[in-house]
Chain A
Amino acid sequence: MKFTLSWLKDHLETDANLEQICERLTAIGLEVEDVDDKAAYKPFVIAKVLSAEKHPEADRLKVLSVDAGPDVNGGKPLQIVCGAPNARAGLVGALARPGDYVPGIDVTLAIGKIRGVESHGMMCSEKELNMSEDHNGIIDLPEDAPVGTSFAAYAGLDDPMIEINLTPNRPDCTSIYGIARDLAASGLGTLKQRAEPQLKLEGETSVGLSIDLDDENLCPGFGLRLVRGVKNGASPAWMQTRLKAIGLRPINALVDITNYMTFDQGRPMHVFDAAKVKGDLVVRRASEGETILALDTREYKLSPSNVVIADDNGVESIGGIMGGEHSGCDENTVDVLIESALWDPINIAKSGRALGIITDARYRFERGVDPDYMLPGLDRTTQLVLELCGGTAAEAKVVGYKAYEPKVVDFPFAEVKRLTGLEISSDESRQILDRLGFTVEGSGERVSVKVPSWRPDVDGKADLVEEVMRIHGVDHIKPEPLESIGSVNGKILTTLQIRTRTAKRALAARGMLEAVTWSFIPEAQAKLFGGGAPSLKLANPIAADMSDMRPSLLPGLLTAAQRNADKGLGDVAIFEVSGTYENDTPEGQRRVAGGVRRGTASINGAGRLWSNGAKGGGKPVDVYDAKADALAVIEACGLPMSNVQVEKGGPAWYHPGRCGTIKMGPKIVLGTFGEFHPKTLSALDVSGALCGFEVYLDAMAEPKKKATRTKPPLELSPFQAVKRDFAFVVESTVEAGAIVKAATSADRKLISGVNVFDVFEGASVGEGKKSVAIEILIQPVDKTLTDEDFEALTAKIVANVVKVTGGVLRA
């Protein structure tokens, strides 16, 4: 919402300066977004060319002698070199002097020397002063323009412009009058009352008018007045200057008057050329497919959800949004029909959105136009038409209008203190509401407040508190500490939140970089990872490839790794801990820690290094890097690792022979890891050594509640632990895990650990076979083991492994 200071002062009697006004506007909730104090125009003065001689060295240049009044150059004429074709003796124009900044050419002038002749300034064109695009010649003012005075003041360019960022709840301040009312209420001046137009009315508005709607709320009032015999020329300069100052293009007097009313009073009006209206006017729903060529010269296809004003020609105007080209007023208009109507805000918003039309009328009607001002607005517009265009006004025709019934709010003044902490006397509260136009009825501490017709946003007590508070001044509210609640607050974070945080730090501590990738991914990728359900597809994605809620973090991470590789950063280790989506319920949103390593980006670092061994070559990442990452997350989350099992195999996007599933018990899947299926990689258009994992943080059970924080006592065996090595030759398909399990089960009491330390395949162990070497840690519990004890244990270990794996102890 834009306006100028002088326009505001039409309605507000105030001594406040621009800065004070702007400060107050922001303080009362009308946030000033932009101010142009027009200081840029201050330097330019009106000057008269006394003589214009040809430049001795240039045919197209002239040397001017310019008089800029007694205050400039001690009253002596200035010598100025000028190239404008219209520069001539006697011309009165706008002078810029050395030191002045000329906005249109972005130059600060200095005394110049042009082809050997000194120039002490410049006579400006409109373009040079940013007034228009006109650069055909210098500004040529009437001869009586006062030489030596401010050009900006003369041309009306010195009126400061203020733009406020209006919140959608304040339709009353879509008018300059409303803004003045708010400022006056805050004590920054006095609101000038609107004069009631005294109209001399003759005859009837001789056009039939009716409302034909199934829902009367769609058009709760329609006023129409005919003015005969107008002359629709250009509007006067003062009106054009104001409209231009707020960015509107003057068209003709009738149209300019409606625009003026829109901003001055927040009362959008419409004018029809009566000669072009055929038959009666009816307010009705549009028929399906009916079209209108609107004032923006675009054709709109309408539907029954749009309310229109129609005649025998068809649709003449989209109610409250935009008029039609056909019945518009132009310089030939003689009889004009002035419309002042009310429309349903919700329907206006929906229609405007559906049709894609943004107008100053829609802006106001969808917020709510003062119903009580429908008829006064019609009269005020009529008065302006009569003043500017002449003619004779007829009696108005009004249909559907009911007088405004004010909302009444039961308001205890104590609400102000309860909600804001402010100590304001009920007298002050009452006065504030009164100044804002509310009617406070009753006495004492609890009153009835009638809401004025221009404040549809005010519904209840809290709204009134806001009114009192913002006018009294928010700055008066002093910070007050929150009371402490409870001494021990328990946990700030839930287990899942703690695990999320821990997983992030654990993975970052493994040298990985945390990424945040899009929650929505291309449909093809979603389907590849088990997603793509219709319920998780956006109806209005911002881009075609951001259409489906992701079923997995992996596609986003894999493509991110590739993007980095494409930039020459091929060794990347990235992770994300975030949501994936199984369905559209809250429970369907999983919490997943996922990661991808590419190239040689193992936990120990990427790339070549002398310590890597042969030629420093880094080993490409593989399934074991991903497995270690996945288990690290689970371990960091505090799960008992002894209960965690790893099974071979996993979802289809992994390499079937190089992936695994991590489980807790037979049912709970904690995660998956592996290298990727070549088809997955090619479908994602990614390549290189890649491995990845996902761990489902939300699948992890809550930790068991412990009765005490005390840890169990540390029991240290007095007997020395012993290590024994075994190597078994087994079929190469036998899993090392099976050997470990079989060995462990030989004696769960004595065997405290089994570790695989070598896996070897080669001719020496036979075709299709491998040797697996394990180290067994034996911890005697209650006595030192004898040789016989060891023999028995060894035999049992071997027997168990041989039985389970079909292998043999390697000699």
Chain B
Amino acid sequence: MSDLENLKTSLLAEIEGASDEASIEAVRVNALGKKGSVSELLKTLGGMSAEERQTRGAAINALKTEVTEAITSRKTMLKDAAIDARLKAETLDVSLPVRSSPAERGRIHPISQITDEITAIFADMGFSIAEGSDVETDYYNFTALNFPEGHPAREMHDTFFFQPDEKGERKVLRTHTSPVQVRTMEAQDPPIRIIIPGKTYRQDSDATHSPMFHQVEGLVVDKKAHVGNLRYVLEEFCKTFFEVPSVTMRFRPSFFPFTEPSFEVDIQCDRSGPIVKFGEGTDWMEILGCGMVHPNVLRAGGLDPDEYQGFAWGMGLDRIAMLKYGMPDLRDFFNADVRWMNHYGFRPLDMPTLFGGLSQ
């Protein structure tokens, strides 16, 4: 039996000495291959007597099992070592910087973001969005809106004019978004519920005035909309827009040519700190103008003011953006300074919704 013991010792030593997958494979072939030392011994089993088979046969089989296991185990060990070595060699410096996502780098201008916020709020109340062109006729910008020729209210608008055409008529850059009111009434039957955001222009420039700015206005025309409804709509809007649980608003009788009665609306706030806080405090801040659509404007839109009625309101889009997000100077809105855009702009995937919140 010592021949088997010797073989086993020598094979186990060879297995132990194999240093890589190739040498262990060579050991395996030498021992267990077709002509391997163990395989040769197994071949002798056929010529053995029953007793011999019981003793020496069993010993040979035991040898085979032991050698096989040793090889397998060594193989696994060597394979793992090889992987470990490879992984070590493949190690990279993860402290190296990578590119940010373009979607994180890009920015949406506050004007676009605020427009989306307003759209989200009013869409929920059944309004749709209407638009008009920046270059308007005197008729739609003034006359149809009940600004009589020569009326001082026209002067309050600091209008940009174009050169008169051959008929002596001169177009204007719209001084407000209100021309869309009459254009909508002409194009659509009541009930009308629209929000009109857009560019407007007046000859004015300082920290809170820019020759180009943005307004948003709303128009409701049906057979029963009244000041109480107007109050409701504006309170809901202000609460939702400024993201406060409640707001206190003050309606002051005022004057606009295209509404009667007219109001200016103040919102209660705290102006003691650098940032205006809504829903608290004891100060008032004027935030918008509104009123019942003037009978002459309804008539200009082809509607009978004894049958139809409605209300309209308007406010500075840039201004409410400044109030909500704290930009100090309106002129910066149009400077395209990338530092400003990065700071005050919004990430493209931060889309204002009522379900996800207007602002993130």
Residues on A lying within 8 angstroms of B by beta carbon are 26-29, 31, 167-170, 345-347, 349-350, 353, 366-367, 417-422, 457, 460-463, 465-466, 469-470, 474-475, 477-486, 489, 491-494, 497, 501, 504-520, 534-542, 546, 549, 556-557, 560, 563-564, 567, 569, 572, 574, 577-579, 581, 584-586, 588-589, 603-605, 609-611
Taking a contact as CB atoms under 8 Å apart, the answer to whether B336 and A346 are in contact is no
The answer to whether B126 touches A579, judged by C-beta atoms less than 8 angstroms apart, is no
Residues of A within 8 A of B263 (CB): 474
From residue 210 to 246 of chain B, which have CB atoms closer than 8 A to chain A? 211-212, 220, 222, 224-229, 231-233, 235
Nearest Cβ on chain B to A720's Cβ, whole angstroms: 32
- Residue of B with least CB distance to A549: B135
Closest chain A residue to B195, Cβ basis: A492
Contact across chains for A349 and B229 when beta carbons are under 8 A apart: no
**A345 — which chain B residues lie within 8 A by C-beta?**
150
Q: Would B228 and A366 count as touching, CB distance under 8 A? A: no
Q: Are A469 and B336 in contact (CB under 8 A)?
A: no
User: Provided the pairs A477-B228, A584-B162 are in contact, do residues A482 and B123 lie with their beta carbons within 8 angstroms?
Assistant: no
Instruction: Identify A28's interface contact among B99, B129, B253, CB under 8 A.
Output: B253
8 closest A-B pairs by CB: A29-B253, A421-B228, A511-B102, A167-B255, A346-B150, A508-B106, A466-B261, A508-B348
Decide: A574 and B338 in contact? CB cutoff 8 A.
yes
CB-based contact A513/B255 at 8 Å: no
B128's closest neighbor in chain A, by CB?
Answer: A492
Flag if B199 contacts A168 (CB, 8 Å). Answer: no
Instruction: Report the number of A-B residue pairs with Cβ-Cβ less than 8 Å.
Output: 275
Q: Which residues of B contact A539 (CB under 8 A)?
A: 160-164, 170
Cα–Cα, bound, A26→B263 (Å): 11
Residues of chain A lying within 8 A (CB to CB) of residue B123: 489, 492
Q: Please pick, from A31, A463, A537, A611, the residue contacting B254 in the complex, using a CB distance under 8 A.
A: A31
Known: A475-B251, A536-B162, A540-B203. A482 touches B349 (CB 8 A): no
Asked if A611 and B109 sit within 8 Å, CB to CB, the answer is: no
CB nearest neighbor in B for A27 = B252
Q: Could you tell me if A349 and B233 are in contact, using CB atoms closer than 8 angstroms? A: no
Contacts of A586 in B (CB 8 A): 132-133, 135
With a cutoff of 8 Å between Cβ atoms, the chain B residues found around residue A584 in the complex are 135, 162, 171
CB atoms of A513 and B235 under 8 A apart:
no
Contact between B99 and A611, CB atoms less than 8 A apart: yes
Check B162–A538 contact: CB distance below 8 A.
yes
Of the A-B pairs whose beta carbons lie under 8 Å apart in the complex, a sample of 16, sorted by A's number, is A29-B252, A420-B261, A420-B292, A422-B227, A469-B261, A474-B253, A480-B226, A480-B228, A482-B220, A494-B129, A497-B129, A501-B116, A538-B162, A549-B135, A579-B134, A611-B98
- CB contacts under 8 Å to A, within B312-327, are none
In the complex, the answer to whether A462 meets B294 with C-beta atoms within 8 Å is yes
A478 touches B231 (CB 8 A): yes
List which B237-279 residues lie within 8 A (CB) of chain A. 250-255, 260-264
Task: Find out whether the CB atom of B163 lies under 8 angstroms from the CB atom of A537.
Answer: yes
Interface residues of B (CB under 8 A from A): 96-100, 102-103, 105-109, 111-112, 116, 119, 123, 125-129, 131-135, 148-153, 155-156, 160-165, 170-171, 173, 191, 193, 199, 201, 203, 205, 211-212, 220, 222, 224-229, 231-233, 235, 250-255, 260-264, 292, 294-295, 305, 309, 333-339, 341-342, 345, 347-349, 351
Residues of A within 8 A of B96 (CB): 610-611
For A534, what are the chain B residues with a Cβ–Cβ distance below 8 Å? 163
Q: Is the CB of A538 within 8 A of B160?
A: yes
For A367, give its contact among B131, B152, B165 (CB under 8 Å).
Answer: B152
Whether the pair B254, A604 counts as a contact (CB closer than 8 A) is no
Inter-subunit contact B261/A504 (CB<8 Å): no
Given A477-B231, A482-B233, do A505 and B226 touch, yes or no (CB 8 Å)?
A: no
Distance of A489 from chain B, by nearest CB (Å): 6
Q: In the assembled complex, which residues on chain A have CB atoms less than 8 Å from the CB atom of B128?
A: 489, 491-493
CA distance A541 to B135 in the complex (A): 14
Contact B112 A514 (CB under 8 A): yes
A76 to B205, CA, bound (A): 59
Whether A535 and B162, one on each chain, are in contact in the complex, defined by CB atoms closer than 8 angstroms, is: yes
Q: How far is the CA of A483 from the CA of B225 in the complex (A)?
A: 9
The distance in angstroms between the C-alpha atoms of A250 and B203, with both chains bound, is 35
Contacts of B126 in A (CB 8 A): 482, 484-486, 489
CB distance from B118 to the nearest CB of A (A): 11
Q: Are A519 and B134 neighbours in the complex by a CB distance under 8 Å?
A: yes
In the bound complex, residues from chain B placing their C-beta under 8 Å from that of A462 are: 260-261, 292, 294-295, 305
Min Cβ gap A411→B in Å is 13
Known: A349-B151, A479-B228. 15 other contacts (CB 8 A): A167-B254, A169-B255, A466-B253, A474-B251, A480-B229, A489-B128, A508-B107, A508-B108, A511-B103, A519-B173, A535-B171, A539-B164, A564-B337, A584-B135, A585-B133
Asked if A505 contacts B336 (CB within 8 A), the reply is: no
Which chain B positions have C-beta within 8 A of A353? 155
Q: State whether A511 and B336 are in contact (beta carbons under 8 Å apart), knowing that A366-B152, A463-B260, A465-B261 are contacts in the complex.
A: no
> In the complex, which residues of chain B have a beta carbon less than 8 angstroms from the beta carbon of A422?
227-228
A604 touches B99 (CB 8 A): yes
* Contact between A519 and B199, CB atoms less than 8 A apart: yes
A541 vs B294: C-alpha distance when bound (angstroms): 32
Indicate which residue in B161, B220, B233, B338 contacts A538 across the interface (CB closer than 8 Å): B161
Residues of chain B contacted by A170 (CB below 8 angstroms): 255
Whether the pair B261, A419 counts as a contact (CB closer than 8 A) is yes
Contact A541 B251 (CB under 8 A): no
For residue B103, which residue of chain A has the nearest CB? A509
A560 to B335, CA, bound (A): 7
Closest chain-A Cβ to B338's Cβ sits at a distance in Å of 5
Give Cα distance in the complex from A728 to B231, angstroms.
72
Bound CA span A504–B350, Å:
12
Residue of A nearest to B136 (CB): A586
Q: A477-B227, A482-B126 are in contact. Are A514 and B150 (CB under 8 A)?
A: no
CB distance from A417 to the nearest CB of B (A): 8
Contact A589 B254 (CB under 8 A): no
Contact in complex: B260, A466 (CB < 8 Å): yes
A564 to chain B, nearest CB (A): 5
